[in-house]
């Protein structure tokens, strides 16, 4: 779900919860309203946590023997470069091992898709070593 779609869903939920709380408060059960407010506050916190990571991604490019990985996680951005022919790929967790660094990628993929990605990346890296 996009952040805008989630914001709309959150707004509708918040209005419903606060409306029900206000109805109970008007009927004399005023203690319902603080709990409704607490529920809306917690939903808002969950929305903020989700929205911070909704645009996370990993971008992998192999060009001219250089493997470049751009990682965006929670608003932080990092760029890693590896020498393609020297990179080793560990398939269970897709871990790239270079001369000086190690990077795990494919965190947003399911187990089967991660294995397929590792196999395809390994194949392209090997093809780059041969040519």
- Round to whole Å and give the CA distance between 111 and 109: 7
Q: What's the predicted TM-score (pTM) here? A: 0.67
> Residue 30 pLDDT more than 90?
yes
Q: How many structural domains comprise the chain?
A: 2
Domain identity same for 108 and 44: no
pLDDT given for residue 18 in this prediction: 94
8 Å CB contact between 59 and 43: no
- Domain span at residue 9? 3-53
Domain identity same for 45 and 65: no
Domain identity same for 66 and 38: no
Residue 130's pLDDT band, with cuts at 50, 70 and 90, is low
Domain identity same for 43 and 74: no
Domain identity same for 90 and 117: yes
The CATH number for 74's domain is: 2.30.29
Per the model's pLDDT, the better-predicted residue between 92 and 118 turns out to be: 118
Q: Where are the alpha helices (DSSP H) in 1-131?
A: 3-26, 32-53, 111-130
Domain identity same for 84 and 114: yes
Domain identity same for 69 and 104: yes
Residue ending a domain, choose from 53, 73, 90:
53
> Residue 28 pLDDT more than 70?
yes
Q: Each residue of 96-115: pLDDT tens digit?
A: 888 788 899 988 889 899 98
102's enclosing H/E stretch is strand 102-105
Q: Each residue of 44-89: pLDDT tens digit?
A: 998 888 888 888 899 999 888 889 999 999 889 999 998 877 888 8
């Amino acid at each position: 779900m996009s952040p805008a779609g989630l914001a709309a869903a959150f707004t509708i939920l918040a209005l419903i919860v606060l409306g029900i709380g206000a109805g109970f408060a008007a009927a004399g059960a005023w203690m319902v309203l603080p709990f409704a407010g607490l529920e809306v506050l917690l939903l808002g916190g969950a929305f903020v946590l989700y929205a911070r990571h909704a645009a996370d991604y990993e971008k992998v490019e192999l060009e001219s023997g250089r493997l470049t990985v751009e990682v965006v996680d929670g608003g932080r951005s990092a760029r890693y470069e590896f020498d393609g022919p020297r990179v080793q790929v560990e398939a269970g967790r897709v871990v790239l091992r270079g001369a000086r660094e190690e990077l795990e990628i494919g965190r947003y993929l399911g187990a089967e898709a991660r294995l397929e990605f590792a196999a395809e990346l390994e194949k392209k890296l090997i093809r780059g070593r041969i040519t």
